[in-house]
Chain A
Amino acid sequence: MKELFTAWLEGGSDPMESLLDISTQEDQDREARKKVSDEKIRRLRKDPAALQTVERMRKRFRKIYLAVAVVCCIMLSGFLLYTISLMPRYGEENPRAREVVERYVEQGVAETGAINIVTGMILDYRAFDTLGESHVLFTALICVMILLRIDQKNQRSGYEDYYTIRSDTYYDLSREPILPVMGRILLPCILVYGIYILLNGQNSPGGGFSGGAVIGAGMILFSAAFGMKAADRFLSVRLCSILTFVSLAFYSFAKGYVFFMGANGLENHIPKGTPGAVLSGGMILPLDLAVGCVVSVTMFGFYSLFRRGSIGMEVDYGRFSSEESKQSQ
């Protein structure tokens, strides 16, 4: 016994292996059945009549599939159209939501300090919705990172990596005439417009989400026009996660403070400012900035992760060229 145990301990055969193997009658039956069905399939594959039957059945399945798909689509669209017919007509008043709308329209400016009542709604009355949206984006970024990010633990195949880098260097931007020139012309406009939307969200159409999306699109254009190396200089994974975390935490705490004070009937110490000024609307401007940070980082992160599986400098670009130069030597 002891000998057997020491043999097992030192990596020999397991003495209990055959004893503990549980192979019930059911398993054997299943294997036998599988063998029979395999044999059947093999026989049918050689049989032209059977092949014809399979083909016919496949065609019939396609027909049924198409019919069911069309019926499902028509039913779904009919259901949606019916729901739309229940809604009030365009421009009409909704009798059910009258109180809320009146309150928002009449006292929105006084209560939130925002002239653009939409931003006042989504960042003051219904700020929890926006917090949830930001967290959805954050979660989506994390999921894309889990799936697509390349690091020491999650390496892609050498071919895939090679292909990404090869296509990046093959379509080298320095020999591309249109994109960098147009990027140089368009990029300042896009970024300034995005910052304008972000900062002026309480006075004009826009706000955190749209401003962040515009800035994120501008950053994508930047990295597409001037290369990923240029974008690496200002945004790494670390900075990305810190920015997202700080924004979300700030949002939660600021809004939690406001809700806590409001729910307990305490005085809110955040000044509303004069409606129409850039620095107005109480917490709306900082919250806008937080949401904009999260959204723009998420958009750029999606692009960067889709394109090469990392944000910032993580892929070793010299790896393949050095390997190949070794080969050529």
Chain B
Amino acid sequence: MTPREILTVILLVILIICAISVNVIPNLLQSVITFMAYSFIMAVVWILMESPDLGITEAAVGAGVSGILFLMTLKKIRSEEEHDPADDREEKPKTDSRQTSGGEKTR
């Protein structure tokens, strides 16, 4: 076996581990990050299989954009889960000061 083939086999094994653990991991954030790692390894595998076109696309779309979209969705879900109406009254004045200070800073 050439070193290249050994590298490919190692990457494929990691790929399978990633693919299984995406479904098994209970924590959604870890699951998303594992998915991004899967895409990144897949991009390297594409390049090893001599199709760099797909490698570039996989790295940009799989590891970049779709991971970001998953993270955005996760953030929205979390923010709605953790919302408690009782906290709102306490937090609003605080954020008010933050907002104005942040707004002045950006201006």
**A positions within 8 Å CB-CB of B:** 90, 116, 118-119, 159-160, 163, 166-167, 169-170, 172, 174-175, 197, 205-207, 209-210, 213-214, 216-217, 220, 227, 229, 299, 302-303, 306-307, 320-321, 324-325, 328
Q: Judge if B14 is at the interface, Cβ distance under 8 Å.
A: no
**CB-CB nearest in chain B for A119:** B53
**CB-CB nearest in chain A for B51:** A118
> 6 tightest A-B contacts by CB?
A213-B60, A205-B52, A210-B56, A172-B102, A217-B64, A306-B72
CB distance from A33 to the nearest CB of B (A): 38
Find chain B residues with CB under 8 A from A324 CB: 92-93, 96, 99
A166 contacts B102, C-beta separation under 8 Å:
no
Q: Count A-B contacts at CB 8 Å.
A: 88
Q: Judge if B105 is at the interface, Cβ distance under 8 Å.
A: yes
Interface of A is mostly: helix
Q: Judge if B3 is at the interface, Cβ distance under 8 Å.
A: no
- A166–B100 alpha-carbon span in the complex (Å): 11
A303 contacts B99, C-beta separation under 8 Å:
no
- A175–B104 alpha-carbon span in the complex (Å): 13
CB distance from A232 to the nearest CB of B (A): 12
Find chain B residues with CB under 8 A from A213 CB: 56-57, 60-61, 64-65
- Enumerate 25 A-B pairs (CB-CB under 8 Å) in ascending A order: A159-B83, A163-B80, A167-B79, A169-B98, A169-B99, A172-B98, A172-B102, A174-B102, A205-B52, A206-B53, A209-B57, A213-B56, A213-B60, A213-B64, A217-B64, A220-B64, A229-B106, A299-B65, A302-B69, A303-B72, A306-B69, A321-B96, A324-B96, A325-B96, A328-B93
A172 contacts B57, C-beta separation under 8 Å:
no
Q: Judge if B103 is at the interface, Cβ distance under 8 Å.
A: yes
Given contacts A213-B64, A220-B65, 4 further A-B contacts (CB under 8 A): A163-B79, A172-B105, A213-B57, A214-B60
**CB-CB nearest in chain A for B79:** A163
- A174–B103 alpha-carbon span in the complex (Å): 10
CB distance from A29 to the nearest CB of B (A): 42
Find chain B residues with CB under 8 A from A207 CB: 53
Find chain B residues with CB under 8 A from A217 CB: 60, 64-65
Q: Judge if B30 is at the interface, Cβ distance under 8 Å.
A: no
Interface of B is mostly: helix
Find chain A residues with CB under 8 A from B106 CB: 172, 174, 227, 229
B83 contacts A163, C-beta separation under 8 Å:
yes
- The 8 Å CB contact of A210, one of B57, B68, B80, is B57
- A302–B61 alpha-carbon span in the complex (Å): 12
Q: Mark B31-73, 1 if CB is under 8 A from A, else 0.
A: 0000000000000000001011101110011001100110011
CB distance from B97 to the nearest CB of A (A): 10
Instruction: Given A169-B99, A213-B61, A328-B96, verify A303-B68 contact (CB < 8 Å).
Output: yes
Q: Judge if B95 is at the interface, Cβ distance under 8 Å.
A: yes
A302 contacts B65, C-beta separation under 8 Å:
yes
CB distance from B68 to the nearest CB of A (A): 6
CB distance from B36 to the nearest CB of A (A): 12
- A166–B91 alpha-carbon span in the complex (Å): 11
- The 8 Å CB contact of B99, one of A160, A209, A321, is A321
Find chain A residues with CB under 8 A from B68 CB: 220, 303
Find chain B residues with CB under 8 A from A119 CB: 53
Find chain B residues with CB under 8 A from A205 CB: 52-53, 55-56
Looking at B60, B65, B79, B83, the one whose CB has the most chain A CB atoms below 10 A away is: B60
B99 contacts A210, C-beta separation under 8 Å:
no
CB distance from B39 to the nearest CB of A (A): 12
- A255–B26 alpha-carbon span in the complex (Å): 48
B57 contacts A307, C-beta separation under 8 Å:
no
Find chain B residues with CB under 8 A from A169 CB: 95, 98-99, 102-103
Find chain B residues with CB under 8 A from A227 CB: 106
Find chain A residues with CB under 8 A from B83 CB: 159, 163
Find chain A residues with CB under 8 A from B69 CB: 302-303, 306
**CB-CB nearest in chain B for A302:** B69
CB distance from B59 to the nearest CB of A (A): 8
